[in-house]
Homo-oligomer: A and B are copies of this chain.
Amino acid sequence: MKAMGAVPAGFVAAPNGALEIERHPVGYWVEKAGGTPLFLYDVERIERQVAAFRAAMPERLALHYAVKANPFGPLLDRMAGLVDGFDLASRGEIARVAHHDLPKSLAGPGKSLPDHEAALRAGVVVHVESEGEAQRLCDIATHVGIRPKVAVRVNPPFLLKGAGMKMGGLASAFGVDSERVPNLVAWLIDQQVDFRGYHVYAGSQSLSEDAIVAAQKATLDLVVDITQKTGEMPAEVNLGGGFGIPYYAGETPLSLRVIGEGLGQVLKGLPEEFADTKLIVELGRWLVGEAGVYLTRILDIKKSGGQTFAVTDGGLQHMLAATGNFGQFLRRNYPIVNATRFAEEASVSMNVVGRLCTPLDLLGDQVMMPADTQVGDDIAIFCAGAYGLTASPHDFLSQPKALEMLAQSSG
């Protein structure tokens, strides 16, 4: 057997021995959804994450949801009642939250004229990522006669240490190198834009509280320094995200209390004149990742070369990251269980594979399953709420689409 990540805290067995989600065994949800493969999103878990964030973090901190983590419509509608704003990555995402009256911003290194126009018409703050983009945005804003709301995305001279994905401290497609930012801000002010402030994103998927606080402190120090050079107070500063969740063996959840206390100390050192600056943290994965469970049914169990293979009706076309094929250097097992027999002891080693004709389609590499595991059982992969279906090649091999559903007892 090989190691796998720990099942996120709080998942228990239903009276029938199956994995329970929102007070029902998974079979209830599969039937309600109409089958497998199914992404099930537990709204109460998301609500608990938001509550944990609010309880632990300094009160002045605004919480934005990074829509790219999971843009499922019904989920966005629930997020709208929980968070303080949406951070967006395309005009497609602008359209998905257009009916929600919340603060919104648009980031991304490759914005086109239609992207800028959509942002202008929707009142979205544009995070410009280069001098060229700033010029093009001002041109189209003049053309359509709307004063643009602009923040500058800064490529910071530091990075989020230990992050799964480093996005600062290097030559980068993201943001404007910090030493060029004061000139750009002066130019933007000159263009009479509605200057909103800064966006600094130093990395994602960190499980180190100290590294996250250090990046937040470095971000605020950088903003203070830039502000001294420009003389322009930022109305808002987006501190980025970076809060990770445990996927693999040996990883442990972040302590929000530690981050909150650390950031609290940092804020005490922030100069008085920033008292009214809105500080934003944008989170995607941390808010919704552990709330998602991917359910896929066993179609066949077979032996080969002394090993057992459980072949499911899903695969990498829905959960690419769980197969280790989305930017990971080494393949490691996500938490994966037999959801139908969650209460049973996992005593035999199996390979859980998807249905695609490629050896890449490996969902569980020699993971432990109950000895009784059989065709028709449902496999659950946890940590499927973020960067799941939309981060996977779901048309590959023209297989049936996965279903998505909110698990909510109220309907």
Look across to chain B and name the residue whose beta carbon is closest to the beta carbon of A169: B305
Interface residue tally on A, bucketed by range: 35 or more
As for how many copies of this chain the complex holds, the number is: 2
Choose one: B109, B130, B315, B395; the contact of A353 (CB below 8 Å): B109
B contact residues around A93 at 8 Å (CB): 397-398
Chain B residues in 8 Å Cβ range of A301: 132
A315 touches B110 (CB 8 A): yes
Measured between beta carbons, the chain B residues less than 8 angstroms from A92 are: 397-400
A391 close to B (CB within 8 Å) = yes
Give CA–CA (A389, B394) in the complex, Å. Answer: 10
Give the complex CA separation of A356 and B66 in angstroms.
13
Interface presence of A392 (CB below 8 A): yes
Assembled-state Cα–Cα distance A358/B163 (Å): 13
A177 x B304 contact (CB < 8 A): yes
Cβ of A259 within 8 Å of any chain B Cβ, yes or no, is no
- Determine whether the beta carbon of A304 is less than 8 Å from that of B397: no
Q: A89-B357, A108-B357, A171-B304 are in contact. Are A396 and B400 (CB under 8 A)?
A: no
CA distance A394 to B389 in the complex (A): 10
Docked CA distance A325–B129 (Å): 24
A18 to B295, CA, bound (A): 49
Known: A92-B400, A320-B393. A375 touches B132 (CB 8 A): yes
CB neighbors of B among A168-205 (8 A): 170-174, 176-177, 201
Task: Find the B residue at minimum CB distance from A390.
Answer: B395
- Residue of A107, A110, A155, A170 ringed by the most chain B CB atoms within 10 A: A110
Chain B residue numbers with a CB within 8 Å of A112 are 299, 313
Residues of B contacting A361 in the complex (Cβ-Cβ under 8 angstroms): 173
| Contact A305 to B177, CB < 8 A, known contacts A109-B353, A130-B300, A313-B110 | yes
Q: Is A302 an interface residue (CB 8 A)?
A: yes
Q: Are B302 and A132 in contact (CB under 8 A)?
A: yes
Q: Which residue of B lies closest to A170 (CB)?
A: B305
For chain A, residues 240 to 258, give those with C-beta under 8 angstroms from any C-beta of chain B.
none
CB neighbours (8 Å) of A170 from chain B are 305
Interface residues of A in 103-145 (CB under 8 A from B): 107-112, 129-133
A165 adjacent to chain B (CB < 8 Å) = yes
The docked-state distance in angstroms from the alpha carbon of A96 to that of B399 is 12
Give, as a whole number of angstroms, the nearest-CB distance from A118 to chain B: 11
A219 at the interface (CB under 8 A from B): no
Q: In the complex the two chains form, what is the Cα distance from A220 to B10 in whole Å?
A: 55
Chain B residues positioned under 8 Å from A355 (CB to CB): 108-111
Question: Which A residues between 32 and 89 are near B, CB-CB below 8 angstroms?
Answer: 67-68, 71, 89
A326 within 8 A of B: yes
Residues of B within 8 A of A201 (CB): 357
Q: Which residues of B contact A315 (CB under 8 A)?
A: 110
Cβ-based interface call for A208 (8 A)? no
With A112-B313, A173-B351 as known contacts, state yes or no: A360 contacts B327, CB within 8 Å: yes
Residues of chain A in range 377-394 having any CB-CB distance to chain B below 8 Å: 389-394
CA–CA, A301 and B312, complex, Å: 45
Residues of the B chain whose Cβ atoms lie less than 8 Å from the Cβ of A174: 357, 359
Interface assignment of A309: CB less than 8 Å from any CB of chain B: yes
With a cutoff of 8 Å between Cβ atoms, the chain B residues found around residue A351 in the complex are 171, 173
Residues of B within 8 A of A131 (CB): 302
A306 within 8 Å of B by Cβ? yes
A167 touches B111 (CB 8 A): no
Question: Contact at B354–A110, with CB atoms within 8 Å?
Answer: yes
List, sorted by A's number, 11 A–B pairs whose CB atoms are closer than 8 Å.
Answer: A90-B399, A93-B398, A108-B356, A109-B300, A171-B304, A171-B351, A172-B305, A173-B309, A173-B311, A390-B398, A391-B396
Residues of A within 8 A of B (CB): 67-68, 71, 89-90, 92-93, 95-96, 107-112, 129-133, 155, 165-167, 170-174, 176-177, 201, 299-307, 309, 311-313, 315, 320, 325-327, 329, 351, 353-361, 375, 389-400
